[in-house]
Amino acid sequence: MSGRHTRVLLLMSLTLTSFHLAPADMPEATALERDPEQAVRSYFESRTTGLTEIEIEHLVPVIVREADRADLTPAMILAVIEVESGGRVRARSNKNALGLMQILPRTGRALAFEAGLAWNGPETLYDPVTNVRLGVRYLEQLVDRFGDVPTALAAYNAGPTRVAGLLRTGQPIPRGYAERVLTTWSPVIRAEI
């Protein structure tokens, strides 16, 4: 992991005061630090997600564990989920991205193969645990590839090939999606983009 990535994550952790998109529904930073699993559980229980209680019970520790494994935070994963799907497990975009973290089937298939996870076609992406495991893996790969969180988020949304091409030709990278994710997480981070 790059030093910049570590500094950005540290700065985000230090400046995180609360979620801003829907304050009544998003867990506060202190709750995420004190009891991340309960804060993540509260996020899903406070909205209409299509998840059963059993699915939430299985999903919550996966979000916390996968975020930690990828050197991200549960807050970052929840922010991506919020922006991508609003927490709706059966979300489908107009570009055919599926599930909580809105993963395209071809990307999901490749990530599942790399991770040694079963792939049973695009429906696999509607399994919340699999979707989060693949989405976090993908975000982690993009942070490693591009070296910082905002650029990785731009690539998560616009595609890594497009972002790499923009970087190669010196063109500006679209920052709107990264801003939405990071301001969902903490308004203070907006200045870091």
DSSP string, 56-74: HHHHHHHHHHHHHHTT--H
Alpha carbon distance 36, 41 (integer Å): 8
3-state secondary structure of 98: strand
84 as an active site residue: the answer is yes
Burial 148-170 (b: 16+ CB within 10 A, else e): bbbbbbbbbbbebeebeebeeee
Given the residues 28, 37, 82, 84, select the one marked as catalytic. 84
Alpha carbon distance 185, 180 (integer Å): 9
Is the Cβ–Cβ distance between 19 and 185 less than 8 Å? Answer: yes
Instruction: Write out the catalytic residue numbers.
Output: 84
